[in-house]
Amino acid sequence: MHMRKVTLWIVVGIALFCCTAVGQEKVPQTPVRSSGYDLKREGTLVGTVVAYTQSSTTPPLGAHVTLQTTGGVVDVHLGDARLLTANNFNIHTGDTLRIIGENVAFGSAAPFLARIVQKGTQALAVRSERGIPVRYVAPKNSAESKPQGGVL
């Protein structure tokens, strides 16, 4: 009788150990990162423009700049290229830029989301402090906002 109790306790112990080990395997190994822009995680990049694309097909969509920094090459999302153009903020290969923003996981990539872009003494906010891209709004007297067509 005593032997049965000991055997039963051993079996129960092994079963609990196995359940614990199986449960641990299901825990994700990747760290969970807060979704959303956070000023506390912001950093600054300084580097030379390797390439600039006004309309990238790589998410997040919009203007991207490839920046060569001391730490390596970084893909930076700048938002709407029309905002840059409207503010006479021209980016060319070889330019030196200072960018304040944050690296954010976006699908399988982790682009650097720019909040402020600086070239020389010119600086432009392309994202709000909450990480929302600044929208380009065409002036009311521009050709883009005038209705097309005429009187027949």
> Would you state the pLDDT for residue 13?
55
In this structure, is residue 57 part of a structural domain?
Answer: yes
For 68, the domain range is 39-125
CATH number at residue 121: 2.40.50.140
Residues 78-123: pLDDT tens digits? 999 999 999 999 999 999 999 999 988 777 777 899 999 999 999 9
The span from the CA of 95 to the CA of 105, in Å, is: 26
Total number of domains in the chain: 1
Residue 8 lies in a domain: no
Residue of 75 and 5 predicted with greater confidence: 75
